[in-house]
Amino acid sequence: MAILVLGTAALDTVRTPSGVRRKMLGGSAVHFAMSARLFTEVHLVAVVGADFPQAYIRFLKCRGVILDSLLRAGGKTFHWAGEYEGDLNTAITRKTELGVLAAFCPVITSEQRSIKNVFLANVDPDIQRELLERMDEPRLIAMDSMNYWIQNKRRSLMRMLKRVTIYVANDQEARLLTGERNLLNAGQSLLRMGPAMVLIKKGEHGVIFCSNKYMFSLPAFPTQRVIDPTGAGDTFAGGFMGYLARVNKLDDKSIKQALVYGTIAASFNVEAFGPERTSLLTMKDLGRRLQKYRQIVLF
Amino acid sequence: MAILVLGTAALDTVRTPSGVRRKMLGGSAVHFAMSARLFTEVHLVAVVGADFPQAYIRFLKCRGVILDSLLRAGGKTFHWAGEYEGDLNTAITRKTELGVLAAFCPVITSEQRSIKNVFLANVDPDIQRELLERMDEPRLIAMDSMNYWIQNKRRSLMRMLKRVTIYVANDQEARLLTGERNLLNAGQSLLRMGPAMVLIKKGEHGVIFCSNKYMFSLPAFPTQRVIDPTGAGDTFAGGFMGYLARVNKLDDKSIKQALVYGTIAASFNVEAFGPERTSLLTMKDLGRRLQKYRQIVLF
C-alpha cells in the first residue's frame, strides 16, 4: 500500500561539531521519504521555489520517490538554518525563511486521492487540513507538528487531532501541548484530544507509544557517531509508517515492529549530514542493524 | 550468595510536588538493601549517630537486613535535605550535614570478610578502599560514586576504578568523569579506566550497560506516579546486584536479566517517599511488574 506524505522539501544550512553544510537537501517530507521508500511507494506533496536545484529533483526521483505533486512555484525554497552544540539533542534555529511555503496550497493528482496511508509532516495545520479534504478516505492518517503551530495555531491543530489516527510528537511538543511534565500523562492527555494512538519521540532516549489499549517503550539504537540529527524524527516516522503501510495492519504486534523499524532508520539518519546516509540505505542495512538492536534490547 | 553493601544510612528531608518528609529513613545502603534483600542476604556496612531512631533499626531488621556492621557513633546521623521540581529528574540539594559520616571507618565481622559480592555505594572513595582492604577476595565488586568525589577525590576514585568489576554511574557522573557528551563514548572511556563493565543510569530514560564484549540498553518502566525519586539509583543497583548474587553468574544473559530486575525495582521506589514502597516489596510484586514490562518492551 502506497503512502502519501505532505511536508516540506527544503534547503537546510546546518552546523554541527562535525562541520557545516550549506543549502543541502532537507525538509520533513524528504527525510520521511528516505526511509519510507524502503517499504513502499512514496508520493511526496510539497512545494519548492525556483532556486531548488534540479539535481535534488533527480536525487529524489532516482530513489523512487513519486514527485507528481511536488509543486515548483516562483520564489525561494523554504530555507532553514540551524546548529547543534554539545550533546546534539537540541537544534538552535538561526534562520527560517518560508519563501514559497508561505502561500502553499497542496494539490494532488486524482490517482493520489485514493491513497490509504497519509503522513502529515510538520507544516501549518491548515495546510494539513486542506490536503485531507482532497483525499477520498484514508485508512491511516498520522500527523506531526511543531512548537510554532502549537503556540500559534492551537485551534487548527486541535481540530486536526480529532481527525487523525496517530499523533506523532517529540517530548517537548507533547509537554507544551498538554502542560504535563510526565510523558505518560502527556500521552494520556493527547489521547483524550482525539487520536487513537500517540507516539512520543524522545531523541537519543527512544520512543514511547500509547493507545487506550497498550503502551510500548523502546530505547534508541545506541550510536557513537552522531553527525547531524536533523530529520531523525521524520526518518523515524518514515520507517514506522512505511512498515505499517507495507503490512497493512494496525494491531499491536505490527505497531511494535513498525516502532523498531523507525528506531533503526532514525539511527542511520544521525550518522551523516541531511539525507546523506539514509539516501543510500537498503533493507539489508536495516535488517543487519535490527539484529544488533535485538541483542542490545531483548532479554 | 550474600551481598555486603557499604554506604550511608541517613536521615533524609525531601520536598517534592507531592509533599514533604522530614528526617525519614534514607541513604544509599538502605535503598540498596530494600531491593537486594528480595534476592539474597544483605549485610549493611554504615554508620549512624546517636539521633538515629531505634525504630529505623527495627525497620531494617524486620526486613532481614543484617546490621552486624552498622556502627552507632556519638554525634549526628548523616542528614541530606533536598527537593525536586518540575519533571523530578534533578534533585536540588538544600543541606548536606555529614555528621558521624565525616570520621567513618568501616568495620566488618570476620564472617563478613569472605562475602563474595560487594557493592560500594556512594561514599568517599577512600572509605570504599578501606572496606575492600578488609575483605578476603570478593568475586564481584561494583561501585557507585557521585559528582562531589569526581571533582574532589578524583585520584582516589580513579584508583578504585582499577579494582572493581562494575562501575555504576548516572549520566551526569559519566559525562563529568570522562568529558564525553555521548554516553556510549563515555562508557568506552570508563572501561579504559579499569572496570570490566560499566552501567550508566539515565533516570526516567532507563539504563545503558557496556563491557568490551557487549552493550545493552533498556528503557525505564514507564510510570505516571512519580512521588519521590530519591534512592531510585540505589534501588536499581540493589535489584541488579541482588539478582547477580543469587544466580552467581556474570554471563551476558544474567547481566541482562539483572538489569531488568534493577529497572523494575527502581520503578517501585519512585512511587512513594523514601523506602515507603520498596520496604513492602515482594518477589511477587516484582514478577507481576516484570510481566507488564515485557509487554511494553519486547517485540
Place of cell 533498556: B218
How near does any CA of chain A get to the CA of B254, in Å?
Answer: 9
Do B136 and B117 meet the contact criterion of CB atoms below 8 Å apart? no
Do A224 and A250 meet the contact criterion of CB atoms below 8 Å apart? no
How near does any CA of chain B get to the CA of A34, in Å?
Answer: 24
Instruction: Give the B-side interface with A, CB within 8 Å.
Output: 86-88, 181-185, 188, 202, 204-206, 208, 214-220, 222-224, 226, 256-257, 259-260, 295-299
Please choose, from the candidates B128, B120, B142, the residue with its C-alpha nearest in 3D space to the C-alpha of residue B240.
B142
DSSP codes joined into one string, B63-97: TT-EEEEEEE-SSPPPEEEEEE-TTS-SEEEEEEE
pLDDT at position A214 over 90: yes
Provide the pairing of β-strand B66-72 with B19-26.
unpaired
How far apart, in whole angstroms, are the C-alpha atoms of residue A7 and residue A48? 11
Please choose, from the candidates A11, A5, A55, A74, the residue with its C-alpha nearest in 3D space to the C-alpha of residue A34.
A5
Rg (CA), chain B: 18
pLDDT at position B245 over 80: yes
- pLDDT > 70: what percent of chain B? 100
How would residue B88 be classed by pLDDT, with cut points 50, 70 and 90?
confident
How far apart, in whole angstroms, are the C-alpha atoms of residue B198 and residue A273? 30
A18: chain B residues, CB-CB within 8 Å: none
pLDDT at position B251 over 90: yes
Q: What is the SS3 assignment for A95?
A: strand
Mean of the pLDDT values across residues B205-231?
A: 95
How would residue A37 be classed by pLDDT, with cut points 50, 70 and 90?
very high
- Determine whether the interchain pair B222/A215 forms a contact, defined as Cβ–Cβ distance below 8 Å: yes
How would residue A183 be classed by pLDDT, with cut points 50, 70 and 90?
very high
Place of cell 543541502: A24
DSSP codes joined into one string, B145-180: --HHHHHH-HHHHHHHHTT-SEEEEEHHHHHHHH--
How far apart, in whole angstroms, are the C-alpha atoms of residue B190 and residue B151? 16
Q: Which pLDDT value is given to residue A270?
A: 97
What b/e string do you get for A6-35 counting C-beta neighbours within 10 Å, with b at 16 or more? bbbbbbbbbbbeeeebebbbbbbbbbbbbb
Do B21 and B14 meet the contact criterion of CB atoms below 8 Å apart? yes
- Determine whether the interchain pair A182/B226 forms a contact, defined as Cβ–Cβ distance below 8 Å: yes
pLDDT at position B43 over 80: yes
- Determine whether the interchain pair A224/B260 forms a contact, defined as Cβ–Cβ distance below 8 Å: no
Please choose, from the candidates A9, A228, A5, the residue with its C-alpha nearest in 3D space to the C-alpha of residue A131.
A5
Query: pTM for this one?
Result: 0.93
Q: Nearest by CB to B257, which of A217, A259, A299?
A: A299
Q: Which pLDDT value is given to residue B86?
A: 75
Q: Which pLDDT value is given to residue B87?
A: 72
Rg (CA), chain A: 18
- Determine whether the interchain pair A226/B86 forms a contact, defined as Cβ–Cβ distance below 8 Å: no
- pLDDT > 90: what percent of chain A? 96
pLDDT at position A202 over 80: yes
Do A272 and A223 meet the contact criterion of CB atoms below 8 Å apart? no
Q: Which pLDDT value is given to residue B76?
A: 98
Q: Which pLDDT value is given to residue A89?
A: 77
How would residue B249 be classed by pLDDT, with cut points 50, 70 and 90?
very high
End-to-end CA distance of chain B: 33
How far apart, in whole angstroms, are the C-alpha atoms of residue B41 and residue B116? 12
Give the count of Cβ contacts less than 8 A between chain A and B. 79
How near does any CA of chain A get to the CA of B250, in Å?
Answer: 15
Q: Which pLDDT value is given to residue B90?
A: 80
Q: Nearest by CB to A224, which of B182, B295, B299?
A: B182
A202: chain B residues, CB-CB within 8 Å: 205
The DSSP H or E segment spanning B113 is none
DSSP annotation of B51 = T
B296: chain A residues, CB-CB within 8 Å: 215-217
A208: chain B residues, CB-CB within 8 Å: 222
Do A47 and A101 meet the contact criterion of CB atoms below 8 Å apart? yes
How far apart, in whole angstroms, are the C-alpha atoms of residue B106 and residue B129? 10
C-alpha grid cell for residue B258? Answer: 539483572
How far apart, in whole angstroms, are the C-alpha atoms of residue A77 and residue A52? 6
Q: Which pLDDT value is given to residue B89?
A: 77
pLDDT at position A86 over 80: no
Calculate the CA B78 to chain-centre distance. 17
Q: Which pLDDT value is given to residue A225?
A: 87
Q: Which pLDDT value is given to residue B58?
A: 98
DSSP annotation of A248 = T
- Determine whether the interchain pair B214/A295 forms a contact, defined as Cβ–Cβ distance below 8 Å: yes
Q: Nearest by CB to B222, which of A88, A208, A256?
A: A208
Calculate the CA A47 to chain-centre distance. 16
- Determine whether the interchain pair B299/A86 forms a contact, defined as Cβ–Cβ distance below 8 Å: no
How would residue B56 be classed by pLDDT, with cut points 50, 70 and 90?
very high
How would residue A79 be classed by pLDDT, with cut points 50, 70 and 90?
very high
Give A218's strand partners: A207
B200: chain A residues, CB-CB within 8 Å: none
How far apart, in whole angstroms, are the C-alpha atoms of residue B198 and residue B200? 6
Q: Which pLDDT value is given to residue B91?
A: 86
- Determine whether the interchain pair B87/A181 forms a contact, defined as Cβ–Cβ distance below 8 Å: yes
Give B205's strand partners: none
How far apart, in whole angstroms, are the C-alpha atoms of residue B189 and residue A214? 38
A179: chain B residues, CB-CB within 8 Å: none
B298: chain A residues, CB-CB within 8 Å: 298-299
How far apart, in whole angstroms, are the C-alpha atoms of residue A279 and residue A246? 19
Count of CB atoms situated within 10 Å of the CB of B53: 13
Q: Which pLDDT value is given to residue A29?
A: 98
Give B144's strand partners: B168
B224: chain A residues, CB-CB within 8 Å: 182, 184-185, 188
Query: How many alpha carbons lie under 13 Å from residue B293 in its C-beta half-sphere?
Result: 27
A257: chain B residues, CB-CB within 8 Å: 299
- Determine whether the interchain pair A205/B206 forms a contact, defined as Cβ–Cβ distance below 8 Å: yes
Q: Which pLDDT value is given to residue B180?
A: 93
pLDDT at position B243 over 80: yes
- pLDDT digit string, tens, across residues B154-185: 999 999 999 999 999 999 999 999 999 999 99
Q: Nearest by CB to B299, which of A214, A256, A295?
A: A256
- Determine whether the interchain pair A182/B256 forms a contact, defined as Cβ–Cβ distance below 8 Å: no
C-alpha grid cell for residue A18? Answer: 562535525
- Determine whether the interchain pair A181/B86 forms a contact, defined as Cβ–Cβ distance below 8 Å: yes
DSSP codes joined into one string, A119-163: EE-SS-HHHHHHHHHHSS--SEEEEE--HHHHHH-HHHHHHHHTT
Q: Length of chain B, please?
A: 299
Q: Nearest by CB to B219, which of A88, A206, A222?
A: A206
Q: Which pLDDT value is given to residue A87?
A: 72
How would residue A194 be classed by pLDDT, with cut points 50, 70 and 90?
very high
How would residue A90 be classed by pLDDT, with cut points 50, 70 and 90?
confident
Work out the burial of residue B242: count CB atoms within 10 Å of its CB; fewer than 13 is exposed, 13-18 middle, 19 or more buried: buried
- pLDDT digit string, tens, across residues B262-271: 999 999 999 9
Mean of the pLDDT values across residues B42-66?
A: 98
C-alpha grid cell for residue B4? Answer: 555486603
Q: Average pLDDT, whole number, for chain B?
A: 96
Mean of the pLDDT values across residues B139-147?
A: 95
Mean of the pLDDT values across residues B72-79?
A: 97
Q: Strand A215-218's sheet: what is its strand order? A: A66-72, A42-48, A3-6, A117-120, A140-144, A166-170, A197-201, A207-211, A215-218
Mean of the pLDDT values across residues A198-207?
A: 96
A218: chain B residues, CB-CB within 8 Å: 219, 297, 299
How far apart, in whole angstroms, are the C-alpha atoms of residue B6 and residue B116? 14
Instruction: Give the A-side interface with B, CB within 8 Å.
Output: 86-88, 181-185, 188, 202, 204-206, 208, 214-220, 222-224, 226, 256-257, 259-260, 295-299
- The residue type of B266 is A
Q: Which pLDDT value is given to residue B204?
A: 92
C-alpha grid cell for residue B82? Answer: 533536598
Helices (H), chain B: 28-36, 54-62, 125-134, 147-152, 154-161, 171-178, 183-192, 232-247, 252-269, 283-297
C-alpha grid cell for residue A271? Answer: 550518522
Q: Which pLDDT value is given to residue B225?
A: 87
Q: What is the SS3 assignment for A6?
A: strand
Q: Which pLDDT value is given to residue B85?
A: 82
How near does any CA of chain B get to the CA of A52, in Å?
Answer: 35
